[in-house]
Structure 1
Amino acid sequence: MNPDDYNDHGMLRLPLWFWTILILQARTWLLFVMAGASRQQGSDLLALFYPDPRSFWSGILLGLPPAMIFLLSGRRHLFPRVWQAGYWLLLAGMFVTFALQALGLWQSTDMISGVDIVLALLDAAALAYWLLSRRLRACFDAARRLV
């Protein structure tokens, strides 16, 4: 690793794909914030993407760990144990999200939308990157400090 790969606290800089995965995993929260910002069309926007309220609440619940990790990422040097646990928490959340999507696609009696397929493929790619990226895994390892 190059010394430029480390931040001021001696920790590896997080890759761009990490942030992309967090956004993908917290998409329900982003939609919720956008719906709150557009007051008149907010409920219509939520109903468009989440016609079943149970899927909305499961998305909120599964999006909570990525949202918390996002908030913690700037202070990860202060909470190294929590940061390390975040890797496994996000991995478990990605498995559950992908499994729920696959189950929903498999049990779907209606015509499957292209958005559902694209989201399932993106979640599968995010899960593969999360499992295979040595750099990302090293970012969650407290022993990988420059200092």
Structure 2
Amino acid sequence: MKSTEIHPADYDSHGRLKLPFLFWCVLFLQARTWVLFVIAGASRGQGDALLTLFYPDHDDFWLGLIPGVPAALAFVLSGRREQVPRLWRTIYPLLLLAQLALLLWQPWRWLTGEALSGPAIALMIADAVSLLWLVTNRRLRACFYADPH
């Protein structure tokens, strides 16, 4: 059985718990529409075609930006979490809510007429695994709720 204790190697030189690597992967997954937006903006003339490829309905694109907001906020505040502990603690439930929304959004899109595709199924599985990891990882919760003093 895997130990769920927090080891001394899990702390940085300032005595704070390091955020797990998978946390950054979950943030990237949650902010996928933002990443697509940045890539489309950087690709100049092909940006609209790229956005249309992933989001044929532009309303879905704008809705897809919403779950990425807590992830972007977590990314920005991660280095200053001891300076804004209340805000930092608030991000964890927002990340859970955003992940749940992403998990439920894909089946809703299928029910409203979008075609079932392999990448969409893969994203839904990744969203489910991410939500499970966010809920069950003790070290991550400790990163959000540990007393900084």
| Structure-1-length-normalised TM-score | 0.91
1:123 partnered with 2:121 = no
Counterpart residue type for residue 101 of structure 2: V
Counterpart residue type for residue 41 of structure 1: Q
- Displacement, 1:73? 0.7
> Which residue does the alignment assign to 1:113?
117
Instruction: Report which structure shows greater RCO (CA 8 Å, sep ≥6).
Output: 1
Q: Which moved more, 1:130-139 or 1:119-128?
A: 130-139
1:83 partnered with 2:88 = yes
Change (3 A) 1:141 1:119: same
- Displacement, 1:11? 1.6
> Which residue does the alignment assign to 2:34?
29
- SS of 1:41's partner is helix
Runs of 4 or more above 3 Å deviation: 108-111
> Which residue does the alignment assign to 2:58?
53
- Structure 2 residue ranges without an equivalent (≥5): 1-5
Identity of aligned residues (%): 48
> Which residue does the alignment assign to 2:75?
70
| Structure-2-length-normalised TM-score | 0.90
* Distance in 1 (alpha carbons) for counterparts of 2:120 and 2:19: 28
- Displacement, 1:28? 0.3
1:12-56 CA-to-partner distances (Å, cap 9, x unmatched) read 100010000000000000000000101011111001001011110
Counterpart residue type for residue 136 of structure 2: L
1:116-147 CA-to-partner distances (Å, cap 9, x unmatched) read 1000000000000001111111111132x5x6
Counterpart residue type for residue 91 of structure 1: L
- Structure 1 residue ranges without an equivalent (≥5): none
- Displacement, 1:10? 2.1
> Which residue does the alignment assign to 1:40?
45
* Distance in 1 (alpha carbons) for counterparts of 2:100 and 2:114: 24
